[in-house]
Amino acid sequence: MTTLVLANEKGGVGKSAIACQLGYYFHDILNKRVLVIDLDHQGNTTRSLTKSGLATVAPVQSHQFLTEPITSVASGAFVLVPSSRELLKLQEQKEWHNRFATNLRECLRAVGASFDMAIIDTNPNPDIRVIAALVVADGVLAPIQLNQEAVHGIGSLRRQVVKIQGTLNPDLRFLGILPNLVEATPFQRENLTQLVTACADLLLTLRDGRPAAFARRTAWPEAQALGIPIWKSKKTSSRDVWSEIRPVFETVAASLEVS
């Protein structure tokens, strides 16, 4: 089982929407058995995937993957381990942090034979949930909005990834920064140009050499609200958005050697 983590220390970057659509992509387009784990107490991924009816909701909650030796989840080809408010209590239990990371690794090993792909959506504040997810991950993708706060957050996340690569998970791959919600304004275009210039080696890059990015489109929140893959929306605009999204998702899959 290959494990991908979505992470960014700044909230509101569209991370959960990307996690949901990636889950749909790996399951529906690539025909993979997918496990989605929502470690964000806000539960945006949980709400959208639950509403979709496409995912089987596991009887265990995501905090239990950290606090208990879970050995099985619901059977199915597309399974969601939902968020819970109990996640907020984990940071207070510092003496158990090593055990939380170990539990998550052991849980994923226990269920790994049942799935091809695990996608973990994380919370914006860099606590034990994010660290534990990075410890067990094969790759990490960092959605970002084009503002200074998000850029600074990526620098901190990258340092954390490097630290974990050097100590706890040498196989962890930083797939790159993925600018999201990019607006067609001179200010945003300038910000994107500056990001490409300053962080070219950190950007997720498409097969044709262009930096990957998602424009701000109404199709994203509409798909999330309906709980559907964007490519299954009946709106023409959604089909146009899917033509922009697909090469990015193909790049992510190729980076993880999932086909």
Going along the chain from its start, the domains and CATH numbers come out as 2-253 (3.40.50.300)
Does 180 score more than 90 pLDDT?
no
Residues 15-36: tens digit of each pLDDT: 999 999 999 999 999 999 999 9
> For residues 123 and 89, is the Cβ–Cβ distance under 8 A?
no
| Alpha-carbon distances of 128 from 96, 106, 180, 224, rounded to whole Å | 10, 16, 25, 27
> For residues 74 and 56, is the Cβ–Cβ distance under 8 A?
yes
Computed from CA positions of residues 84, 31, 112, 170, in that sequence, does the dihedral angle turn out positive or negative?
A: negative
Does 150 score more than 80 pLDDT?
no
Question: What percent of the chain is modeled with pLDDT above 70?
Answer: 95
Q: Categorize the per-residue pLDDT at 198 as very low, low, confident or very high, splitting at 50, 70 and 90.
A: low
Residues 57-112: tens digit of each pLDDT: 999 999 999 999 899 999 899 999 999 999 999 988 999 999 999 999 999 999 99
Q: Categorize the per-residue pLDDT at 125 as very low, low, confident or very high, splitting at 50, 70 and 90.
A: confident
pLDDT, residue 171, reads 93
Radius of gyration of the chain (CA): 17
pLDDT, residue 234, reads 82
**Mean pLDDT in the chain?**
89
Using CA atoms, how far apart are residues 141 and 15, in angstroms rounded to an integer? Answer: 9
The SS3 assignment for 185 reads: coil
**Residue range 157-172: average pLDDT?**
90
Structure-token pair, residue 131: 């660290």
